[in-house]
Amino acid sequence: MTSAAAPHPARERWWRGRTMRRFLANRLALFGAAAIVLLVLACVIGPGLLPYTSLSIDLRARFAPPFTGSHYLGTDPLGRDVAARLFMAGRISLAVGFAAMLLSTIIGTLIGVIAGYRGGWIGAVLMRMVDGFLSFPSIFLVLALAAALKPSAMMITVVIAATSWMEVARIVETEVRSLREREFVQAGRMLGLSGTHIMFREILPNAIGPIIVAATLTVARAILMEAYISFLGYGIQPPLPSWGNMLDGAQRYLGSAPWLAIIPGAAITIAVASFNFIGDGLRDAFDVRGDHK
Amino acid sequence: MMPQGQTARPAAPALSIRGLTVDLPRGMERRHAVENITFDLLDGQILCIVGESGSGKSVTANTIMGLLPRAILVSAGAIQLGGPDGTAMIGASPATLRSVRGRVVSMIFQDPLSALNPLMRVGEQITEVLTAHDVGTKDWQRQRVIELLTEVNLPNPQLMYDQYPFRLSGGQRQRVMIAMALALEPKVLIADEPTTALDVTTQAQILHLIRDILRRKGMSVMFITHDFGVVAEIADSVIVMEKGRIVEQGIAAEVLKSPSHPYTRRLIAAVPNLTGQDRAAAATVPEDAILKVEGLSKTYRSGSALLGSQRVVPAVQDVWFDIGASRTLGIVGESGSGKSSLGRLLVKLQDCDGGRILFEGRDIAALSDSEFRPLRPKIQMIFQDPFASLNPRSTIGQILTVGPVAHGMPRAQARIEAKELLARVGLDAGAFDRYPHEFSGGQRQRIGIARALMFKPRLLVADEAVSALDVSIQAQILQLLDQIQRETGVSMIFITHDLRVASQICDQIAVMHKGRIVEQGPPSQIFLNPQSSYTRELVAAIPGETLV
């Protein structure tokens, strides 16, 4: 038997791979993915389909409850259409969430890979930096930064990213530290590859699973954080809507016009829960031990 | 087919298996793990089940014990334990199985470290077996455990009782496993590759021990192995399995002497036998040493020197050797002898503490990492584990070309050379765009060899390059290495624990023991006329010397 000439098994495509199969078998994660797709579609297409823009004021229809005329989700105290504002707010909130996730994942991955691969004093310094950031109450840090700087969507994104990259860094560092000892990394060194090449081209692709999981969960946290800052008035500034500052105006009318709080609240809950479901689903799907359940 | 041994001795079968078929989950490479197998294990005999990995031999053992994973189901057949009025194991209730396991049939595993609980003292673990079956009082149990530890020839049983597994050597751990398996004097002992993870000298001792205990207790042993050398050493009868089917069975001596099935013949032929002959030199090249190692040493230190808890392990001590162009030097030793550390020092994956490594006249030990980088292409390494040494996320093409490209070779040229090399190591060009997990162990090792050859190196360091492979694949890889050396004139340092393998491929052999080279010479000297007592011990321990 010349095993070398044995026929190759059929090529496995990633969407038919085991990870994907396990993810698709997870109902909750699928539900989360579907909800996010719907939410994004609604935010992208929705404002174009409605007769009102988020800023047009209809003074005759202030405090209109949902389903009055073509105000499907009612109006706010200024007579602005809640549906139009919700979708516009969704664009901003989701964009801030995604952008903050991207930024914090990039920072966290970079620091985690370098700390994990180099080890020694470089690793120690970097990881103590992570500890330092972690030991800061992040919500106060965010509020302090937000109060000191001129609030804008960009600034909010940077501030949120600056306080949420540490988790990614920790996950990546542990992963890289164990991958570093594998023989294929030794083989890379034997071939004379540079440290940067080994870190980012050989090791990083093998750590992508945990990074994706952490990134998904970071989106959820970033959306919550943005809502929180905006609710307190340090975030996205009116008249630009965000889910957080829509809530800010709503609390005064909780008794008389509850939809003002319930609708953006529900949007936040759905988005955050969905991202968490997706994250959990991905974590289970990437976990090889899940096979023996 | 019934074993012919039955007519010679009218013994009742201690274990009898009839038409056993075990299904694999859907989507695996074949439908059945084992298919319609029938055999008897006679009283007081050793039956060896031989086959390559994936032949279904371990599944058979686990089925007998009722230890199959849930995804694997028995679809047909019967297993009768302890004669006609014994227990039918298939379909038995979990309670019945529990009572039978350990008492009537017990098992020892390949890896004695992972099979022992690391947080429990040796004595307690053996006592657990007795307690689980409600045997004896506390005092009696302790006495019995010490008796067992004595029986498996562990030194100082009283002291051994209170040791944790990590303090024991591999051979001692396997002895503990055997003691545990023997605790209730079972009729049948199933041994699943119990010596594969052990050094040759330890393997010889364990085989001897199993044989010895069997004689004393009148047990029957079902011994699973992939090594016909081991079969020659201990088996009464033998079963050869291929892809879940029994292809041959019979009395060991007869099967070994005149195997009837081509698969058996191939397996037996693949066993690397000791050649006491020196290898014919590839060409008469001037004996100019390409690599000279002078007084090389490396000491590992762990723990803290300040707190006085430092552990100092001298891994390599004052090693001297040299190797000429297109020659092969074998470095042989047991695990922990420092041979792998030596290999890593030579390719500078680790820095040495002292001594010189003269490569083409230049001392590379003194070079810094960046100074050594331009020289790396000339010294390449083949790694032990064909699964861990290839990046699972890179295609074979990337794996082969990444090194040369990093050293400035144009990408297009690297691709062409990589494809040529794939053909040379016996893989088709279609492999170029595939990922490592699509290949078998032997194929992956070929890829590892191709990677090392991409640079046209002057020196190849092969660290246990064939140890993780089945014997038949092993022979193919050794042949490939030999052929490559003849074609390219590369020098090779071949690190292995297997003297038989070393004897096949090496011009010179250095025997390492506790970090030192205790003997150096051509195979004829090492095997026929060993000078040091340690070498003599190693050579004597090789299984299956009768198999030539």
CB contact under 8 A, B443 and A6: yes
Is the confidence at residue B134, as pLDDT, over 90? Answer: no
Contacts across the A-B interface (CB distance below 8 Å): 89
pLDDT value of residue A290: 41
pLDDT value of residue A289: 47
| Burial of residue B437, with CB atoms counted within 10 A of its CB: 0-12 exposed, 13-18 middle, 19 or more buried | exposed
CB contact under 8 A, B438 and A189: no
CB contact under 8 A, B425 and A184: no
Q: How far, in Å, CA of B138 to CA of B121, rounded?
A: 16
Q: What is the mean pLDDT of chain B?
A: 84
For A206, the closest of B392, B439, B455 (CB atoms) is B392
Q: What is the pLDDT of residues A144-177, one digit of tens each?
A: 877 788 778 888 898 889 888 998 999 999 999 9
Cα angle B263-B264-B269, degrees, rounded to a multiple of 5 = 100
For A187, the closest of B266, B383, B406 (CB atoms) is B383
Question: B189 - beta bridge partners?
Answer: B106, B221
Residues of B (159-218) whose Cβ lies below 8 Å from A = none
CB contact under 8 A, A6 and B376: no
Residue with tokens 């530290």: A177
- Provide the shortest C-alpha distance from residue A189 to chain B (in Å): 7
CB A179 within 8 A of CB A203: yes
For B393, the closest of A1, A189, A205 (CB atoms) is A205
Using a CB-CB cut-off of 8 Å, the residues of chain A touching B347 are: 190
Among residues B384, B379, B288, B382, the alpha carbon closest in space to that of B327 is found at B288
Amino acid at B514: K
Radius of gyration (Cα) for chain A, nearest Å? 23
Amino acid at B420: E
| Burial of residue B539, with CB atoms counted within 10 A of its CB: 0-12 exposed, 13-18 middle, 19 or more buried | buried
pLDDT value of residue B304: 57
Is the confidence at residue A81, as pLDDT, over 90? Answer: no
Is the confidence at residue B311, as pLDDT, over 60? Answer: yes
Amino acid at A291: D
Q: What is the pLDDT of residues A226-284, one digit of tens each?
A: 888 888 888 888 778 888 888 887 778 887 888 888 888 888 999 999 999 998 888 88
Domain boundaries, chain A: 91-287
Using a CB-CB cut-off of 8 Å, the residues of chain A touching B439 are: 8
- Sign of the CA dihedral with B90 first, then B91, B96, and B97 last: positive
- Provide the shortest C-alpha distance from residue B213 to chain A (in Å): 37
pLDDT value of residue B163: 85
Quote the tokens at residue B288: 């100019």
Order the strands of the B105-108 sheet from edge to edge: B105-108, B188-192, B220-225, B46-50, B237-242, B245-251
CB contact under 8 A, A3 and B440: yes
Instruction: Give the Cβ contact number of residue B165 at 10 Å.
Output: 21
Instruction: Find the residue in A nearest to B435 (Cα).
Output: A11
CB contact under 8 A, B440 and A11: no
Domain boundaries, chain B: 1-93+188-195+223-271, 289-540
Mean pLDDT of A47-65: 75
Alpha helices in B153-251, H assignment, sequence order: 157-160, 170-182, 200-217, 228-234
Share of chain A above pLDDT 70, in %: 91
- Judged by a CB distance cut-off of 8 A, whether residue A181 touches chain B is no
Mean pLDDT of A36-56: 82
Q: How far, in Å, CA of B57 to CA of A42, rounded?
A: 58
Phi, psi of B393 (to 5 degrees): -100, 5
Place B544 in a pLDDT band, splitting at 50, 70 and 90.
Answer: low
pLDDT value of residue A291: 42
Predicted TM-score (pTM) of this structure: 0.76
pLDDT value of residue B280: 63
pLDDT value of residue A259: 82
For B388, the closest of A12, A183, A194 (CB atoms) is A183
Residue with tokens 């007579």: A79
Mean pLDDT of B351-369: 87
Using a CB-CB cut-off of 8 Å, the residues of chain B touching A184 are: 388-392
Phi, psi of B416 (to 5 degrees): -65, -45
Which helix (H) or strand (E) segment holds residue B358: the answer is strand B354-359
A7 or B36: whose pLDDT is higher?
Answer: B36
CB contact under 8 A, A192 and B448: no
Place B281 in a pLDDT band, splitting at 50, 70 and 90.
Answer: low
A59 or B372: whose pLDDT is higher?
Answer: B372
pLDDT value of residue B239: 92
Q: How far, in Å, CA of B508 to CA of B263, rounded?
A: 33
Among residues B192, B204, B120, the alpha carbon closest in space to that of B163 is found at B120
Is the confidence at residue B5, as pLDDT, over 50? Answer: no
Q: What is the pLDDT of residues A118-145, one digit of tens each?
A: 988 999 999 999 999 888 887 787 788 7
CB contact under 8 A, A187 and B407: no
Mean pLDDT of B152-171: 84
pLDDT value of residue A111: 94
CATH of domain B289-540: 3.40.50.300
pLDDT value of residue A3: 39
Is the confidence at residue A6, as pLDDT, over 60? Answer: no
Question: B357 - beta bridge partners?
Answer: B293
Mean pLDDT of B201-214: 85
**Checking DSSP bridges between strand B73-81 and strand B87-88, what pairing results, if any?**
antiparallel
- Judged by a CB distance cut-off of 8 A, whether residue A21 touches chain B is no
Q: Which of B267, B347, B393 to mutate to test the interface with A (most CBs of A within 10 A)?
A: B393
Class of the domain covering A91-287? mainly alpha
Is the confidence at residue B305, as pLDDT, over 60? Answer: no
pLDDT value of residue B227: 82
Among residues B285, B270, B267, B229, the alpha carbon closest in space to that of B507 is found at B285
Cβ neighbours of residue B265 under 8 Å, at least 6 residues apart? B259
pLDDT value of residue B205: 84
Q: What is the pLDDT of residues B454-501, one digit of tens each?
A: 988 999 999 888 887 777 788 888 889 999 898 888 999 999 988 888
Is the confidence at residue B545, as pLDDT, over 70? Answer: no
Among residues B459, B525, B449, the alpha carbon closest in space to that of B324 is found at B459
Q: What is the pLDDT of residues B44-94, one digit of tens each?
A: 889 999 988 778 888 888 888 888 877 788 888 888 887 777 778 887 888
Among residues A137, A139, A161, A158, the alpha carbon closest in space to that of A149 is found at A158
Kindly give the interhelix angle for B170-182 and B122-132, rounded to the nearest 10 degrees. Answer: 20
B166 or B356: whose pLDDT is higher?
Answer: B356
Residues of B (453-472) whose Cβ lies below 8 Å from A = 455, 472
pLDDT value of residue B133: 86
pLDDT value of residue B307: 59
- Provide the shortest C-alpha distance from residue B367 to chain A (in Å): 14
pLDDT value of residue A101: 92
- Provide the shortest C-alpha distance from residue B489 to chain A (in Å): 20
Amino acid at B338: G
CB contact under 8 A, B446 and A4: yes
Mean pLDDT of B105-134: 85
CB contact under 8 A, A187 and B426: no
Cβ neighbours of residue A258 under 8 Å, at least 6 residues apart? none
Mean pLDDT of B201-225: 87
Residues of A (202-231) whose Cβ lies below 8 Å from B = 202, 205-206, 208
- Provide the shortest C-alpha distance from residue A17 to chain B (in Å): 12
- Provide the shortest C-alpha distance from residue A188 to chain B (in Å): 8
Using a CB-CB cut-off of 8 Å, the residues of chain A touching B478 are: none
pLDDT value of residue B6: 42
B109 or A1: whose pLDDT is higher?
Answer: B109
ipTM over 0.85: no
Q: What is the pLDDT of residues B421-433, one digit of tens each?
A: 898 888 888 888 8
CB B174 within 8 A of CB B124: no
Please check whether the two domains, B1-93+188-195+223-271 and B289-540, share a CATH topology: yes
pLDDT value of residue A230: 86
Is the confidence at residue B2, as pLDDT, over 60? Answer: no
Share of chain B above pLDDT 90, in %: 14
Mean pLDDT of B14-20: 89
Q: How far, in Å, CA of B240 to CA of B264, rounded?
A: 7
- Provide the shortest C-alpha distance from residue A206 to chain B (in Å): 6
Q: Which of B267, B402, B474, B493 to mutate to test the interface with A (most CBs of A within 10 A)?
A: B402
Q: Which DSSP state fits B12?
A: P
Fold classification of B1-93+188-195+223-271 (topology level): Rossmann fold (3.40.50)
